Amino acid sequence: MRSRPMKMHVQRLVTGIAAVGLMLSLGATPAYADDEYKVLVVGDTLGYRHSHIDDTTLAVIQLGQENGFTVDVWDPRQTTRTLSTTPFTTADDLSQYATIIFASPVDGTNDLDPVRPRLLDDVELSAFQGYIRGGGGFVGLHAATDSMHTVPWYSDLTGGGARFRSHPAQQTATMRVESPTHPSTAMLPAEWVRFDEWYNFTTNPREDVHVLITLDESTYNPGSGAMGADHPLAWCQNFEGGRSWYEGAGHIDANYSDPLFLAHILGGIEWTAGVVIGGGDCVTFGEVEAVLAGVKDGSMKYAQLSAQLEAYLDDAEIAADAGDHAVATATLHKARAKAHGLHDDVLVSKLGDLITWQEGLRS
């Protein structure tokens, strides 16, 4: 059993031009200088409607009142709270939101019928894509993976192409916190026992995302769609310039009055909004490899350094997958030392994130 970390590696971003410049240079969402920001909750449904949507909306509004952000709502079924028209007009219009929260907006497209109306039409989808690519944030809750099945880009945004496949009867199960120093998990127990509706996904997203929480299938009956020993449930990633965070639990209405669950959700909101950092900031080995591949010079020196760094990353990933986080950390320190020779600040910073992540897993 993993013990809890002695220190929470969570930091609030400092304000000011220097901090904002650093965040932009790393391709992340900048902090808000006045500590005030706005989020959007999307609960619009074209298919099955989860009863928790209204509860989720109210809970996020309350979190905002307590933590310094305001909330707009797009959900015509919540007639007293919703905006009068779609906010998904242009990327510029959406940029007023630090992050956008999809609260189980099921649209019924799981039959993959290309002409079936989806949550966002072409114009709205283009606006959303521009918003994410401009540094926007995304929080997906529960059935956020059961929407826009006919849009591969959205599947990648929610996490590695993993979509809702099935779920067994609601029951008690054990979640295991895999990345305990992230701002959204630092408050959680290593083993988190809850009653909920547990999703099986169409694919395992691990290769493309930073897994935060897994489900222990030995503690419940996962049904015919069982994913096996490795069943990610919550994850996050840096995606096309923006930040994405997903939690597959949250079907039960009572979740949204549970202080611990809400603290977890708040961490996801604040991380995607760029208000907090920590725990490696959802870096993945694949993300760092992509940054390295983009460092071009053409000289023999750069080619040799790149090859050495690739080897270090491969060795560190193998060690991490084997659970030897001490070796992974030591190897990454060697990689970062070499990376300075390539004179790429983003690469050095991302390697630092990998080190922070792996160090947090050593306890």
Condensed to tens digits (0 to 9), the pLDDT of residues 111-167 reads 999 999 999 999 999 999 999 999 999 999 999 999 999 999 999 999 989 999 999
Which domain CATH number covers 84? 3.40.50.880
Please say which residue of 215, 250, 278 terminates a domain: 278
Q: How confident is the model at residue 62 (pLDDT cuts 50, 70, 90)?
A: very high
Whether the per-residue pLDDT at 303 is higher than 80: the answer is yes
Give the per-residue pLDDT at 14.
37
Residue 2 forms part of a structural domain: no
CA distances from 39 to 53, 68, 236, 274 (A): 16, 11, 18, 12
Edge-to-edge strand ranges of the sheet holding 171-177:
69-74, 37-42, 99-103, 137-141, 242-247, 232-239, 210-216, 171-177, 191-196
Number of domains in the chain: 2
Q: Provide the token pair at 29.
A: 């969402």
Within 10 angstroms of residue 278's Cβ, the number of other Cβ atoms is 22
Within 10 angstroms of residue 96's Cβ, the number of other Cβ atoms is 13
Is there a contact between 129 and 122 (Cβ–Cβ < 8 Å)?
A: no
* φ, ψ (nearest 5 deg) of residue 44: -60, 135
Percent of the chain with pLDDT over 90: 85
Q: Answer yes or no: do 185 and 166 share one domain.
A: yes
Whether the per-residue pLDDT at 309 is higher than 80: the answer is yes
Residue 4 forms part of a structural domain: no
Helix orientation angle between 300-321 and 285-293, rounded to the nearest 10 degrees = 170
Please say which residue of 261, 278, 295 terminates a domain: 278
User: 10-12 and 164-166 as β-strands: parallel, antiparallel, unpaired?
Assistant: unpaired
Q: Answer yes or no: do 75 and 204 share one domain.
A: yes
pLDDT greater at residue 19 or residue 303: 303
Residue 1 forms part of a structural domain: no
Whether the per-residue pLDDT at 89 is higher than 80: the answer is yes
Q: Answer yes or no: do 271 and 302 share one domain.
A: no
Domain holding 304, by residue range, is 285-360
Q: Answer yes or no: do 267 and 352 share one domain.
A: no
The model's pTM: 0.90
Please say which residue of 278, 304, 331 terminates a domain: 278
Give the per-residue pLDDT at 299.
79
